[in-house]
Amino acid sequence: MRVAIAQVNPTVGDLRGNRRLVEEAAAKAVEAGADMVALPELVLTGYPPMDLLERDGFVRDQLRELEALAAASRRVAIVLGAALPTEERRPRTLVNAAVLLAGGRQIAARAKSLLPSYDVFDEKRYFRRAERRELVSFGKTHLGLTVCEDGWVDELGYNIDPTGELAADGAELVFNLAASPWHVDKAPARRGMIAALAARHSVPLVFVNQVGGNDELVFDGASFACDAGGRILAHLPSFESGFAVVDLDGEGQPPENIADPSHVAQLEAGLVLGIRDYFRKQGLPPGAVVGLSGGIDSAVTAHLAVRALGADRVLGVAMPGPYSSDHSIHDALEVGRLLGIEVREAPIDPVYEAYRELFASLFGERDNYGLAQQNIQARIRGALLMAVSNAEGRLVLATGNKSELSVGYCTLYGDMVGGLAVLGDVYKRDVYAIARFANAAEPRIPESSIDKPPSAELAPDQLDSDDLPPYDVLDAILEQAVEGGLTAASIRPPTGVSAKVVRDVIARVDRNEYKRRQAPLVLRTSTKAFGSGRRLPIVHRYPAD
């Protein structure tokens, strides 16, 4: 059996455009002499379709595209994911199905058995699960059709194993159609897990994953096929569309050697794809605007934006204020020079002074460098970036990192403005790593932006370290709290750090849920990002003080 793997990049809701992606893949498969072509989960709707599934006409329109696709199956069989209505009408229910089209018609459909409903997943909101696993006959071959989570039995401890049941029933080839969102280091672990599943049940397996960014989620692709021994026979790259043909009967085909990208290379590539697709799929031709402070976060954000969009579609704005150091404006301009982007300057002092006079009548000048006076500087900068956005149609990229966003060391409606928080799921230590990685080939981030002590520069001689533990300490605590779900009592303090520091950090994390709720979309890079995968009440009292 010759199977084509089509790792495509669908746009959510673009039913017609996504159908064309399938048709193009089918045409390539015909050309390559394949018997079948496999496409990802819910490829016609794009993943995740969210509440569009409940919108009047959406599923019906998708079914029309599915019917139109049947014609393309006259010359090659197509296995693809689609949302199918069940017989039930009240309540109306759907299944998340793998569909086999062949000979110009729909041959079979099999519903997903395991519906993820944790972190960013809401599938039980939309879908009913399969009660049984059933083989599909394709000519003389028995196929097993599974969908994404159906293959995550080992990792997540489900008590049914669709792949195992299908293999036991005589499946000669199992497909896993996936929309498996990326986080750093997921691809090799996922490949290892699913190949081990194939080996355990002695059945060849084709895993085909969506690629591309859809809102906060980046899908990495990294599709593959393995033989009944779990040996990888074909493998598609991460972070780009791809197509491969694999001969699953060909005995003794040599296994592939796969070099997965490094941690930081994945981070860079994943974020670049997330930015690029956000702009492309939304249709934002004028590009991005980034406030350049001279610090590392904004420099790395601009660097990633240039990689994603090209230097001509990224504008930097330097907005020095009363407490900006001399090197700040110099470093901001240097970012522009290194990246080859336009940088405009707009000193905020006159607006700041006008606000200060108003403050006197509003609440008196109680504290010269207090919170209101600090935050207004960030808010002037945010308003200026939004004014550029309004005037030129550019999208503002927020520059804050995950360490800051965790403890609320950021100003709502100030440095938090924007459509996309590029580094919102990247701890400070990894922002440094991306900067050094970017500079390895050619200078992209000014060395002084990397070397200088981080500062918000909203008060005289201010440093982040006045208000926060050192970032290595902070990040070590945060990772246990955010990714690990631990409370202060259970967190292991980094060496030399007191339990009180841990408690203070965690109290700040809890207290700032309200800021994050109004943050821009955060591109997800970890197992737990701020966004739809983390659902906490704003007002709550746990743990008790």
Site for its own copies in 348-367 (CB under 8 A): 348, 350-351, 353-355, 357-359, 361-363, 366-367
Strand stretches in 313-438, DSSP E: 314-318, 342-345, 395-398, 420-421
Q: Say if CB 415 and CB 291 are below 8 A apart.
A: yes
Where does 35-185 have alpha helices with state H? 58-70, 123-126, 153-156, 162-168
Q: Which is nearer to its own copies, 8 or 29 (CB)?
A: 8
Q: With binding defined as CB under 8 A, does residue 432 bind its own copies?
A: no
**CB 348 to its own copies: min, Å:** 8
Distance CA 407, CA 513 (A): 9
Beta bridge partners of 37: 4, 78
| Residues of span 47-86 touching its own copies by CB under 8 A | 48-52, 54-58, 61
| Residues of span 293-352 touching its own copies by CB under 8 A | 317, 344-346, 348, 350-351
| Residues of span 473-492 touching its own copies by CB under 8 A | 484-487, 489-490
Q: Which is nearer to its own copies, 428 or 515 (CB)?
A: 515
Distance CA 484, CA 336 (A): 38
- 112 catalytic, yes or no? yes
CA–centroid distance for 505 within its chain: 26
Q: Which is nearer to its own copies, 157 or 252 (CB)?
A: 157
DSSP state of 163: H
- 528 catalytic, yes or no? no
Q: Say if CB 177 and CB 81 are below 8 A apart.
A: yes
Q: How far is CA 203 from CA 3, 175, 214, 256, 441, in A?
A: 15, 10, 32, 18, 44
Binding mask 198-217 for its own copies (x = CB under 8 A): ----------------xx--
Q: Say if CB 146 and CB 171 are below 8 A apart.
A: no
Say which of 24, 28, 31, 41 is annotated catalytic: 41
| Binding piece for its own copies, criterion CB under 8 A, among 34-42, 119-127, 265-273, 450-458 | 119-127
Q: With binding defined as CB under 8 A, does residue 160 bind its own copies?
A: no
Q: Say if CB 73 and CB 93 are below 8 A apart.
A: no
Q: Which is nearer to its own copies, 47 or 175 (CB)?
A: 47
**CB 352 to its own copies: min, Å:** 8
Count the residues of the shown chain that bind its own copies, applying the rule CB under 8 A: 97
CA–centroid distance for 337 within its chain: 29
Amino acid, res. 365: E
175-192: b (≥16 Cβ within 10 Å) or e: bbbbbbbbbbebbeebbe
| Residues of span 361-420 touching its own copies by CB under 8 A | 361-363, 366-367, 370-372, 375-376, 379-380, 382-384, 386-388, 390-392, 412-413, 417, 419
Q: With binding defined as CB under 8 A, does residue 541 bind its own copies?
A: yes
Q: Which is nearer to its own copies, 117 or 202 (CB)?
A: 117
Q: Which is nearer to its own copies, 237 or 418 (CB)?
A: 418
Beta bridge partners of 344: 317
Q: Which is nearer to its own copies, 10 or 294 (CB)?
A: 10
Burial of 364 (0-12, 13-18, 19+ CB in 10 A): exposed
Three-state DSSP at 454 gives coil
Say which of 65, 112, 268, 334 is annotated catalytic: 112
Q: Copy the structure tokens of residue 516.
A: 């994050």
| Residues of span 5-34 touching its own copies by CB under 8 A | 11-17
| Residues of span 125-144 touching its own copies by CB under 8 A | 125
| Residues of span 239-268 touching its own copies by CB under 8 A | none
**CB 159 to its own copies: min, Å:** 8
Q: Say if CB 226 and CB 252 are below 8 A apart.
A: no
- 41 catalytic, yes or no? yes
Q: Which is nearer to its own copies, 122 or 256 (CB)?
A: 122
Q: With binding defined as CB under 8 A, does residue 499 bind its own copies?
A: no
Q: Say if CB 465 and CB 511 are below 8 A apart.
A: no
Three-state DSSP at 522 gives strand
**CB 123 to its own copies: min, Å:** 9
Say which of 123, 148, 404, 515 is annotated catalytic: 148
Q: Which residues are catalytic?
A: 41, 112, 148
